Every structure is written in structure tokens, then in C-alpha cells.
Structure 1
Amino acid sequence: MDSFSDGWLITALIILILGSAFFSSSETGMVAINRYRLRHLARQGHRAAVRVESLLRRTDRLLSVILIGNNFVNNFAATVAAILAIRWLGDSGAAVAPVVITLVMLVFAEITPKTYAALKPERIAFPASVVLKPLQVLLAPLVWFVNGISMVFLKLAGAQTRNSDDDHLSPEELRTVVNEAGGLIPEKHQKMLLNILDLESVTVEDIMIPRNEMVGVDIDDDMDEIMSTLRASQHTRLPVYRSDPNNMLGLLHLRKLSRLLLKEDINKAELMQHTVEPYFVPEGTSLNRQLINFQNARRRIGIVVDEYGDVLGLVTLEDILEEIVGEFTTDLAATSQDIHPQEDGSHVIDGATHLREINRSLDWDLPTGGPRTLNGLILEYLQDIPDANISIRVGDYLIEILQVKDNMVKAAKVRHASNEPEAP
């Protein structure tokens, strides 16, 4: 009779250990499951995903059910193990049972199932939800009672007891997700996604064509000179101003002038009839905001102005799009008119070239937190207008000033320190 009852007790102990393993793995699987993949599967009608998502809406109730079940089977298993130990070993079994059952529970009911659940959360969470869902309903009164007591102590400790919606990713967290996507996202698409995230931190001044490089039409010039500018222009839209860009009159779309340009007796009044009101952009506007503004205003070009209304430069929709998809060329260093590669691995760069363009073209990492151009970076470093043939080092980059004109660095030779020729 005793051997028969021992067999039942051993069977019960094995079932309880398996039950503990189930609750332990369920807890880890539910917590470790990818919420975004789960939401995607649920929207596609995956039944198990819908069930798990429903359970996770109230994580406190789900964890309470799991912990109640886990504690019940653990305590019951400890009791059964103690009975068996006393039967087999006598009074000394009471001291041996806790050690043995602890080791067994750690290996078979805690570490092993939880590790597997962390590695394969869907394989555990989906089937476990079939049991946990009705169990949540069955234990609802007990869960409510236990959670009520827990909430009282949490409030006394000053903890926030309301469910917070923390499933939303911050931009930096989303950047990490994209970076860790690996082969799931093509490298080019990955870079585009990261560029989109960067639009918030980049302003129109970072990509605009500066005022001194703007190509426009001064309506006070002779008509022959104006026509020469229009016919030689490589741009489809040109700003029109009177005497000074600060006196901006509008923007001229050359495609609308295609027939008019064939006439020889065209006059300024006809040009002004085809000029649309200028669209002004305040300095400091982020690129993502400006992209929306261009869309809402149905414009493709804007005049960047400072707080005093003075013109700083010109920004286009194409400039913003290039920040996302990259330049519309295959070899930026080879095609850029401002960056000239040299045989020794260095590059001769125009001082007015934007640092972001240099970094993008050459895959460098020149600092972009302060000045926006190479000239500005050099002047900030030296705190003075330099002479030619001066060399400086900014971070990992060696800069040799080649030409200075009109109080600005016109050209400099730049090389990465890793490309510095070795001394003989």
C-alpha cells in the first residue's frame, strides 16, 4: 500500500514540477515576446496573437495569475517532496528535502524553461495563452483581491499604479531598432530610414544655398544681361529681386517662360507677370517641418530669412529629398565641383562647402554641431583670419589652408589622419 501511495506522490510531484515549468516559461515568454511583431500578427488575424495581445493589455492581472499558479504548484511540490523524503529517510528527510527540491526546481522548473522561453517566446506564449486565458477568468476574484492589497502598498511607497502606455518608441530607440535590423532591411533602405530620423535635428541653414552663391535676376539690370542669365541658367526657378536680395520680388519659373524667351522684344513687365510671390522660410526651421510646409504650401523653393528679415539663402524641396535618399549621383566625390580628390589620398575642398556635404560625400565625420562650412570650421578653430600654408588638425582630420581671399578660406587640402603618409 505504501509503495502504491509513493507512486502516486512521485507522479504528483512530476506533474507539479511540469506545472511550475509551465508558469515560469509562460511568464518569461509573455514578457519577452516582441510587441510589434505581436501587434502585426494580431492585425493579420492570427488567433493566438490576438489572445496574447488581449492578455498583455492588463499585464498586472496576467502576472498575478501566473504568480498565483506558480506559487501554488511550488508550495505543493515542496510539501509532496517533504512527505516522500520523510517516508524514505525518516526524520533526516526533513532536512534533505528542501535542498533536493530546490535544485530540481531550479534546473527543471526555472532556469531551463525560462531560458528556452526567452529564446523562443512565441513558441511558449502562443500555446500558453490557451490555458492562461480561462485561468484568468477562473481566478479573477483572487486576482482582484491580491492586486488590491498590492496596490495599497504600492501607493504607500509612492509608486505610479496606473497603466502607462510605454509601447511607443522614442526616435533614439527607433534608430537602435533600425540599426539592429541587420539583413532584415536592405542597407540603402536602412540608411534612408536613419536619414528621415535625422530631419528633426537638421535645419534649413544646414542645407541651404547661401546668399552669396544664389543665382537670381536683378530686375534693375539691363534687359540683355537679364536674358543672358535666364538662358544660361541651369535651374528651373530663379529668385527675382531689385538691387539687393533683401528686396525680394518673387520667384520666376523658367518653364513658363519657354515661349517668351524666344521673343526678342521681351520686357521686364512681361517677366514680372510670370513672377510668383516669394515664399519665405524662417531660419532654424527643421527639415521635417519644412518638408510638411512645402507640401501644405504647394511650393518647391523657399527663401531663408533671419529674425530681421534679411535673406540668408535659398532652400529647395530637392535639397531636403537629397538628405533622405542621398545625392542624385553615383560618385559624389567624383562629380562634386567643390571636392577634388588627390593622388595622395587627400581632397582639395572649396571653403564654402557644407560640412554635411563633405561628410556625406567622403563618409567622413567632421564636426557639424557648430559652423556649417569648412571655412567656418577653420575660422572657429583658429579664432582668426589665417594666412595660406597654415596647417591645423581638427579631430582626426588634417587641414592645410591653400588659399585665403576676402577674409575667408577659399580652398583647403583635407585628409583623414589614417591617410597621412608615413615619415621616411
Structure 2
Amino acid sequence: VSVAQEQNFVIQTANAEEIPVIVKTYYDDVDNFKFDQSDNSISFDMPFDWSPDYVDLVQVVHEEVRVPKTFSPYAEGKQFKGYVNGVEIDQRALLNDPYSYDDTNIVHFLITNQELKKINETLGESNYDNKKMDLKLVPLSEVEKQSTEFYLVDTTNYEPVPTTVNISGDGSYGAGDEIPFEIAFFDENRELIRDMKYVVSFIDENDNILETFMGDDPQMPGIVATEGIDIRKILVPSQGVYRIDVRALGTGFAYEETYAGIGSGIIEIGPSTGKTTPTPEVAPPAAIPSWIKNNAEWWADGQIDDDSFVQGIQYLVKEGILKIPPTSQGEGTGSNEIPAWIKNNAGWWAEGAIDDDSFIQGIQFLIKEGIMKVQS
């Protein structure tokens, strides 16, 4: 379907109580709606072509399940697991929205192209001929959350903007765990701000950045909170107080700036509860002296021109001060014209909104395009 459709169903409980449920589908009509009293799960299916060629074309499959909060298995504060064709989907593909309505919990299936491919890989070729997508939502026990909330300010006068950020973590996790943090953006009316593009960094008490999330496309920086809510997992190594820095870049493809701003919150992580997660492989950070950020900031502000910036970077690379991973040198056109997005990246990097590796990606782009010549 090209326009979202709402389909109405009824859950029949063991006490003969009838609970209205709405499935809002953004893809196709759903069928075979079922409620399983043994685990209080809701399941349904819809037409879907699992052939790899078709899956390559699908950006996201979005389905909403709306259940009254008065129905205790789906009450506010619950967590959920989601399954597609029997495969458990990543926690980031299942977003719980208890904020939009006072009386209704909304659970979003946001199954990305990457998640669809992972399901196909898990199930193998036997799934390619499957013409249905089976979705299942299973409520879990209620969890105690620890949270921080703060408003954002603009980056010019540091005046408040109409954006509030709430960040919460599952209290059953602790030091040494990979903790899923929910990040929610609200406007002045306490409504979720949809299609928010943002960057978030997790920082310890010694100002060491544990991880920065800024998306995969350097030309369009920012991760997207499609429904105004996102989940990011971070391995927290030890107990203590952690700072979470958020930069809201804007909404939509045009980065509309009404809700753009920066802000920080503090959250305290307690001892490990015994939940263990594998330690992720961390690439060694790029070696960039902090004073180089001054040049990047001056260039982003227009105080030095493009040629001066390029020449400065070339010198730093040649002298081994700035370490660039091996990059194929492009032929170029002899012009030092630099795309605007790289200048934006430089400004954000100078302000600490993106990490060193993200800045270096822009330099690698200049090398590949032949805009910058680097002597080995």
C-alpha cells in the first residue's frame, strides 16, 4: 500500500475480555491475526517477496501495533521482542512508543533493508520463494529504567530551542554490559519529533569518548529517529557517571532547523548484573593533533579559503602529522573545489559533534576525487 492503512482486530482474553487492537500497515494488508494466551504474543502476516533481487529494493518495512495500556501485558513500561519469519530481529528494529497517546501503547516494526537481508541469510535459500512475511510481537516483563532528560540550545547564542531529549537505559544492565539506550525527541507540546537526524556520543568521567554514532553516509550525516525514538547500544566498561552529548542536526532530508540544537545529559551506571556481552572490536583511532581543529573551524567559518585548507592538509599528511588510511588517488580535474558537505563535517568535527574517523572520511573523499593530491 502506498498510504498507511489501519486494520482493526480484537483480542479475546482468558477472561472473555475483548481488547481492541489496531495494526497500522505501511506496506500491505495484514492477515491471519492471532493472539496466543500462552505468551500474550500478537502475530500476523502479509504478502512479501523474499527473493534477494526484490529485497535489495526495499528500504524499510514499517508496521505499527496499537494496544490499550489498560491491557496489562502491553502496559506502559513493558519491553518487547519481535520476530520475522521466526527470526528474532534486532532491538533497534522494534521501537516502543508509550508517549504519543495517554491510553495506547504503539510498537513499531521498522525492519530495514539490512535486517531483511540478515533474515534471508539466517533462513537461507529456502526463504527466497516465501511469499509472506510473518511478524510476531512478544511482551516481556516490566523493567525499571534510569533516565536523563534535557533541553537543547542553538549553537550560535546558546538559547533554548523547542526540543527536549529523554535518554533511558534498562536498569537491569550494569557495568560490563552492552546497554541499549532509548533516545526520544520531543517538541514543545511533548509530541515526538519525527524524522530527526542527530549525532550522539557517550563519554566517560575522564572525557574519553566511548563511541559516537553519526550514521553511515558522510554526505548526509546523522542517524535518523524515524518515529522520534531510536535505540543505540553501547558497551559500558565500568561503573560511574557518563555524559551523553546529543546534537540534533534537523528534520527531514532538508535538515529543517526548527528543532536543531545541542545538549548533554548525565546518567549513572551501577555494577554489573551478570549480563555479559561480547567485547566489540575497536579500530585504533586516527592520530590527529587537537590543534588541527582550529584550521578546520576557521575554514568552516570562511576565515581561510579552500586552497589554503587543502594545502594545509596536504602538508600535514606529507609530514606524517595527519594519518590517513591507504586511499586510491583519483585523477581529478585540477580544481580544488570542495563539496559543501565536507565543510559542514569540518565545522561539526571542530565542535566535537563528529569523531576523528568521520572527518578523515571527508579527506579520503577529496583524495579519491583528485581534489587533493597526497604524496607518499
User: Structure 1 length normalisation: TM-score?
Assistant: 0.22
Q: Which is higher, the Rg of structure 1 or of structure 2?
A: 1
User: Structure 2 length normalisation: TM-score?
Assistant: 0.24
